[in-house]
Amino acid sequence: MSPLLEVEHLRVQLPVGGELRSVIRDVDLTLEPGEVLAMVGESGSGKSMTARAIMGLLPPGAEVGGRIAFDGADLSAASSRQLRELRLRRIGMIFQDPRAAINPVHRIGDFLTEVLVRELGVPRSDAMKRAEGVLQEVRIRDPEHCLHQYPHELSGGMLQRVMIAAVLLSEPDLILADEPTTALDVTTQAEVIALLSDLRRARELAMVFITHDLELAAAISDRIAVMYAGSVVETVAAAEALTRPLHPYTEALLESRPDIAVRLDVIPQISGRPIAAYEVDAGCPFHPRCRYAEEQCSLTPPKTALVGTGLVMCHRAQERLGGLHISGEQNSLADGLGAQAG
């Protein structure tokens, strides 16, 4: 089976104050049909820009390098019309804030049927039937009533379901979900995650799920790509990321989970500030914040290599893999406390 999505050596630079700034540095990703890949990282690490590059929706003036292929076709060579067609029919996107993505003066039914009627030539009554069907699929209790409602009459969670329904209408092969539950309360968040998981199975959808929450990422995905300063620093099976993180940044993300904070009665944070991709100089981008850093880490950029079952961009990953076999979790927790006290 060939991958549904292949991203190779993706580089993105954006114009800022008359110069080009690097925001994505040499990102590689693959996604099989029906697979869910989560992209995790702190704010500013380049998750959204990666998704926007895949959709062909980068800000004006962006310089893009590398290759993005969808279902075997090279998107870097696609015309804007072909990209538009792809967004209409094969790749859907869900954003953090559904209210920003919907026209407040249109009823839900008009919003859902607009593309079908205008772009795809579906008769209006058929489009309404299909809209009602997808509202049912996203578990809206009274779909017929919902079609006549305005966005302001719906809660954030309901509106996010409507956005998911809108994406389903185009029967995509791939959904890019950019922090789709970040703006929702915890209960609603869990419901939307459960819905996405069920839909993914029922429709055999592939999904790129973007979040800053590693635990949430592991719950919904098959594989996780951890991003730092515009690079993917670790790509690994979801379960491995939680039990045996190999990149020190993944480990630090894991330790800053709130449930561990409750148990330890402190709120662990990753010390130091995240750097932007354009600030990366020699060496590993994470070295200034890394408790495992040694001299070479500040001098030479690490290459991404297969370590255990994952791809890791760290000079010390192989060595850490050895150490983690013995008493990984206890060691890293103790180190976390040490770092807090220090």
| Token pair 């060595």: residue | 319
Which residue lies nearest Mg ion, judged by its C-beta?
A: 48
CB of 127 or CB of 253, closer to ligand ADP: 253
Of 37-45, 74-82, 92-100, 162-170: span binding ligand ADP (CB under 6 A): 37-45
- CA 78: distance to chain centroid? 23
Which residue lies nearest ligand ADP, judged by its C-beta?
A: 48
- Applying the rule CB under 6 A, the residues between 55 and 114 that interact with ligand ADP are 59
41 binds, among ligand ADP, Mg ion, none (CB under 5 to 8 A by kind): ligand ADP
23 binds, among Mg ion, ligand ADP, none (CB under 5 to 8 A by kind): ligand ADP
Using CB atoms within 10 Å of the CB of residue 123, give its burial: 0 to 12 exposed, 13 to 18 middle, 19+ buried. exposed
* C-beta separation of 241 from 39 below 8 A: no
Task: State both tokens at 296.
Answer: 């070479």
Helices (H), the chain: 47-55, 80-89, 108-118, 124-137, 143-147, 156-169, 186-203, 214-220, 238-243, 248-255, 258-264, 295-299, 317-341
Contact call for residue 13 and ligand ADP (CB under 6 A): no
What is the rounded radius of gyration, in angstroms, for the C-alpha atoms of the chain?
21
Task: Tell me how far apart the alpha carbons of residues 210 and 232 are, in angstroms, rounded to a whole number.
Answer: 13
Site string for ligand ADP, 262-291 (x = CB under 6 A): --------------x---------------
Task: Tell me how far apart the alpha carbons of residues 25 and 171 are, in angstroms, rounded to a whole number.
Answer: 32
Classify 112 as helix, strand or coil.
helix
CB of 224 to Mg ion, least distance (A): 16
Q: How many residues bind ligand ADP (CB under 6 A)?
A: 13
φ/ψ of residue 142, rounded to 5? -120, 80
CB of 47 to Mg ion, least distance (A): 5
Of 26-34, 44-52, 91-99, 113-121: span binding ligand ADP (CB under 6 A): 44-52
Contact call for residue 226 and ligand ADP (CB under 6 A): no
Instruction: Report the interhelical angle of 317-341 vs 248-255 (nearest 10°).
Output: 40
Contact call for residue 46 and ligand ADP (CB under 6 A): yes
b/e burial code for range 28-63 (CB count within 10 A of at least 16 → b): bbbbeebbbbbbbbbebbbbbbbbbbbbbebeeebe
Contact call for residue 45 and ligand ADP (CB under 6 A): yes
For residues 218, 220, 222 and 227, what is the CA-based torsion angle, rounded to 10 degrees?
-60
Of 40-48, 107-115, 137-145, 329-337: span binding ligand ADP (CB under 6 A): 40-48
Footprint on this chain of Mg ion (rule: CB under 5 A) = 48
CB of 16 or CB of 266, closer to Mg ion: 16
CB of 50 to Mg ion, least distance (A): 9
Contact call for residue 16 and ligand ADP (CB under 6 A): yes
* C-beta separation of 239 from 67 below 8 A: no
CB of 95 or CB of 111, closer to ligand ADP: 95
CB of 45 or CB of 113, closer to Mg ion: 45
CB of 12 or CB of 317, closer to ligand ADP: 12
CB of 56 to ligand ADP, least distance (A): 15
- Which residues sit at the interface with ligand ADP, rule CB under 6 A? 14, 16, 23, 41, 43-49, 59, 276
